[in-house]
Amino acid sequence: MDNNAAVAANGHVSFLDYQGKYKGIKAWILSTDHKRIGILYLIALITFFAVGVTFGFLIRLELLTPGKTIVEPQIYNEFFTLHGVIMIFLFVIPGLPAVFGNFFLPIMIGAKDVAFPRLNLLSWWLYVTGGILIIASILMPGGPADTGWTFYIPYSVRTTTNVIITGSAALLLGFSSILTGLNFITTIHRLRAPGMGWFRMPLFAWSLYATAWIQVLATPIIGITLLLIVIERVFGVGLFDPALGGDPILFQHLFWIYSHPAVYIMIVPAMGVVSEIIPTFARRTIFGYKFIAFSSIGIALFGSLVWAHHMFAVGMSDTGQFVFSFLTFMVAIPSAIKVFNWTATLYKGSISLEPPMLYALAFIFLFSIGGFTGLIQGALSVDIHLTDTSFIVGHFHYVMFGGTGMGIFAALHYWLPKMFGRMYNLKRAKVAFWIIFVGFNTLYFPMFIMGWLGMPRRYYDYLPEYTIYHQISTVGSWILITGMIIMFTNLIKGMRKGEVVTARNIWGGETLEWTIETPPTHENFDELPLITGTPYEYKQNDSEEIPEEINH
């Protein structure tokens, strides 16, 4: 990036061009600047995402026809394990907190950095080390794990593949997540600008706060669980082996006690992004600010109580099934509050369909489908039929990719121009969006149909009657990947060579990041701001419209 883009409009040097203690690559990988760490996460995230997408592409290619298409069953099992582990632990969980939380949380609450800058850097190093270990397992004797991303007992103890390496990598990623959560909680409690009370915080900050508590309280459970797998494999102590007095169902409880709250580590920050974008592009004050803020906390709370709805088919008591089914319907309430409030914010708004808004609206549509199909599975009689079918795969991807993935894409289009001071091509971004949207639904919606008809998930082969659904789904994967290639090419080209943007308020937002230089300076603020109002205070005749060069 040249100096024209690196120097802020008032002559201050941006964080991209700041000369600190180190030079060259060391100035980045040893930096404690929260903004540089956010960009380091972004680079690593996109890299790991590309690897995960490649494995997903290969899975769909194998399932194009019955029988063998390109690989043998063992390789197929390794493909879907690597795809799941990379996408969950390296993309979806860290995506928004690690990249945009690191970059914008301190700015949005009026701070110059996070509370623990060195721990912040350590969390990035742990993340990258864990990611490299997962990918390196491909080259190790025995090959990568073939257990699926859930590492279910007893197979994860008996298989000869590199479960220990993959589990250890996930353990490192867990420590990275815990450190990030501790940092965000402390930052929000201790470093808010003068006058910024709890109900003057942006909703993205609220979502990161709720997420951080889940990271700190739930992540140690998965760390202990993965460590128990290693102990079981190495020492054969019988923690999960019934022949030695163990219980294989215990593993599922331990795994889902973390992994269901982890779903909300993934989705709550994306909801925070949507809560930022909707009022900005509808030019309206957010409807029900406190309800949206408290619903984030409600999701974090209720989401920690419903883990066993993944286990209705394991043989738990009728009372247990009833309780967890009831709680599953309860956890939908705070999510529904957000959707209703976003819709109310859009009502009679002056809506501008720029790329960030398109992805935010796609989030609402796709996440709603994912949420409703989740409630279908919360009904006991239906869940027994749908357990371990492709219906679950469709639901999971509508929530995780249609929800969190679209949230990440929305955040990229919303904040990248602010981060780098350059604008991507808006028309190309809109074309990419529609290709992605069509490809996504073509890929994942047939999974609901064939799952309802009985197609098991994770299977290498299938009966001839499911062929048409698999073929449509595979074609959808080609469309989706085409759209993502266009999108990322456009964004990367925009970051490097796009039109220089020096305006502070690129989109007409009302939160603090839109009051500082573009790109931000090293310490964000010349002096800490004094907060006197609430965010999203759009007036009926707001004089600050979206800049003409942006609003085509």
pLDDT tens, position by position, 216-274: 998 999 989 999 999 999 988 888 988 888 899 999 999 999 888 888 778 999 999 99
Is 2:10 a contact under the CB 8 Å cutoff? no
Q: How many angstroms from the chain centroid is the CA of residue 95? A: 5
Instruction: Tell me whether the omega of the peptide bond preceding residue 529 falls within 30 degrees of 0, making it cis.
Output: no
Both structure tokens of 191 = 């470093």
Residue 421 to residues 14, 497, 517: CA-CA distances in angstroms?
A: 10, 10, 9
Is 422:500 a contact under the CB 8 Å cutoff? yes
Per-residue pLDDT of the chain (552 residues; tens, 9 = 90+): 444 444 554 557 888 888 778 888 999 999 999 999 999 999 999 999 999 999 999 999 999 999 999 999 999 999 999 999 999 999 999 989 999 999 999 999 999 999 999 999 999 999 999 999 999 999 898 889 999 999 998 899 999 999 999 999 999 999 999 999 999 999 999 999 999 999 999 999 999 999 999 999 989 999 899 999 999 999 888 889 888 888 999 999 999 998 888 887 789 999 999 999 999 999 999 999 999 999 988 888 888 888 988 899 888 888 999 999 999 898 889 989 999 999 999 998 889 999 999 999 999 999 999 999 999 998 988 999 999 999 999 999 999 999 999 999 999 999 999 999 999 999 999 999 999 999 999 999 999 999 999 999 999 999 999 999 999 999 999 999 999 999 999 999 999 999 998 889 999 998 999 999 989 998 888 888 888 888 888 764 443 444 444 443
pLDDT tens, position by position, 66-99: 999 999 999 999 999 999 999 999 999 998 999 9
- The whole-angstrom separation of Cα 309 and Cα 325 is 6
Write down the pLDDT at residue 7. 53
pTM (predicted TM-score): 0.93
Both structure tokens of 57 = 């592409």
